Structure 1
């Protein structure tokens, strides 16, 4: 072997290790680009760009004790507003539950909708149940809290695919 000729180990390192290091460097660069691109996409979902919502109670029926003569099923008419501050379109429908003190009183479905990117939309939801009246113990609590001006309904909306978002609101029962 001549003194200027590289050793076997050196040739092995240059033939095997250098290509592996080159592949690792390329993968690192690709991963860095992906992270930067994802971070820019997520910046569209920063607090200034988020999906906001509100609900307003526009109609109530059947809020009487289940023991009352002629008691009817509880029903609530809700006006829902969704402000889509995200750079994506959301569409679909979802389920709505109206509860009082953690007890579900009525359920309903949102209409199918399409919330365009960076747009707002308003729709109504009618909720009802097959049960007659409000359970008596809950009706007594509700009546007392209404006298104090503290009666609040809990409204939950779970949107289905593709966005799978949940919203929850507390709504004053008497305005």
Structure 2
């Protein structure tokens, strides 16, 4: 997925999370931004708990980061964008058993007025990250390739709208 977004002209940085726990990598975005000082429009995103961490970073750096992309993720109460026009893209799957549609709906009131929510039919949590089956997740009814294709399409379309 990252390579496909990069092919559309976007720099995609993937952070290494110590112990595979995204909460330990919350300031990695700073490192990537410093490595590429000529880029003016930064967006941050993450999948599942990575999205929770990305949303916290975006909330605290709204002047640096132009928008937030959530993949099967949600906001924490402390990151309340509801009184802002901050650009947010939220991609969810209707078969997600972890960041369930109900969990995402419970935090919907924290999203900005400028949020685009897209529910991918047949998508689950694990296929956003392509790391295999995960305990508690539901079985997807679309292929991993199809879910990734739709994710890339929605993400690139949204990024293009933000840059124009």
- TM-score bracket, shorter-length normalisation: under 0.3
The answer to which structure, 1 or 2, has the higher relative contact order (CA under 8 A, 6+ apart) is: 1
TM-score, normalised to structure 1, is: 0.20
Determine which structure has more spread, i.e. the larger CA radius of gyration: 1
TM-score, normalised to structure 2, is: 0.21
